[in-house]
Amino acid sequence: PMIPAQRLQELPTQFFATLVRKANVQIAAGHDVINLGQGNPDRPTPPHIVKALQQAAENPQYHRYPPFNGYLFLKEAVAQRYREDYGVELDPETEVAVLFGGKTGLVEIAQCLLNPGDVCLVPDPGYPDYWSGVALAGARMAFMPLLESNGFLPDYSALSADDVNRAKLMFINYPNNPTAVSAPASFYEETIAFAAKHGIVVASDFAYGAIGFDGQKPVSFLQLPGAKEVGVEFYTLSKTYNMAGWRVGFCLGNPEIVRMINLIQDHYYCSLFGGIQEAAAVALTGPQDSVHELVQMYQSRRDALFGALDRIGWQASRSQGSFFTWLPVPKGYTSESFSDMLLEQAKIVVAPGVGFGDHGEGYVRLGLLSTEERLREAVDRIDALRLFG
């Protein structure tokens, strides 16, 4: 038998693969399944970006190997977006790394910074990809509970002194997956002071940076003084431009971290297909109307869903950002037994909170990635189960 290396055995199980499998059993049995479980944007990429790729694909220069670490024009394009959106200045040459989606960078940064025995502070609940990089680096995670009573922000004063002293890296993520809250500027100030004091590198995952509701534009970590000294921000086109399939992301900020990420990437890949880089630059520098429309669409869906939830008596805090909702499960259920029951009896897929960490227990995550009509239908099906009120 083939025996995988230790590091593969350390990898956490891909929880969402199980979710997809369970849903597929129902679909194969002919049921009309409403899938609110995954975080896959349902709308197509704006046409002007697709056109840009079609044209760029004809350029024979792009048929050859791309430059290591990506084209400068793409780094300039993301620097321009940060200048316009956040008033943040980034040196395209030294403060921008091009990634294969944010996901690769989240794994790579752990490999860049962590030795076996080191600690990484990880939000709980949180996006499971943070765990993967830490596992591959042979390091250890110390979880930072995100409690509703603290606005789903970590409380640094509650962490163990030993974990904090051993920590080399920490992940933060606002707007947050899965809790759907945004963070105020003061939280980033506090984080920068904490990280500077303890010599911890901050990895701010800003995957949902464009998606804030009720007119609240999410704050970027890099907007706060001192951010670049202690860390980087991960930014991606996946959600903002409905480009999840294109795999374009960035690591922005601290030049030493950017250099390390580029170094490790040199050993894995050259960079993305040049045509994709050109179209990505068009996305970042072209008209941004589609982004405003996208936020409006998610906000309408959020309002439709919460309106329906209010009607059936399922009380939950409204999402502030991201395209998720984070809802408490009714009494008598765990997040998993509730999710299984919804799939069996209502043919609805939701993500059980425990899949995001122990402190996710007691909640389920529903995505706003179906039409308002489908979201309302999902709530009607739940209403028929008479669980609330």
List interacting residues with ligand PLP (CB under 6 A): 39, 101-103, 127, 173, 177, 205, 207, 236, 238, 244, 249
CA dist., res. 235 & res. 102, Å (int)? 6
The least distance separating ligand PLP from the CB of residue 196, rounded to whole angstroms, comes to: 24
Nearer to ligand PLP, 282 or 308 (CB): 282
- Nearest residue (CB) to ligand PLP, 100 versus 333: 100
Query: What would the two tokens of residue 164 be?
Result: 């904090």
Q: How far apart are CA 277 and CA 70, in angstroms?
A: 8
Are the CB atoms for 285 and 74 separated by under 8 Å? no
In the bound state with ligand PLP, the residue whose beta carbon lies nearer, of 23 and 207, is 207
Q: What is the largest CA-CA distance in the chain?
A: 63
Q: Are 156 and 194 in contact (CB under 8 A)?
A: yes
Please give the single-letter amino acid code of residue 143: F
In angstroms, rounded to a whole number, what is the distance separating the alpha carbons of residues 205 and 190? 17
Q: Looking at beta carbons, which residue is closest to ligand PLP? A: 101
Rounded Cα–Cα distance for residues 329 and 49 (Å): 40
Cβ 56 to ligand PLP shortest distance, Å: 20
Cα distance between residue 153 and residue 172, in whole Å? 9
- Closer to ligand PLP at the Cβ: 16 or 333? 16
Q: Of 86 and 127, which CB lies nearer to ligand PLP in the complex structure?
A: 127
Smallest CA-to-CA distance from 145 within 95, 189, 179 is with 179
Nearer to ligand PLP, 249 or 321 (CB): 249
The minimum distance between CB 338 and ligand PLP, in angstroms, equals 22
Distance CA 23, CA 340 (A): 10
CB of 372 to ligand PLP, least distance (A): 22
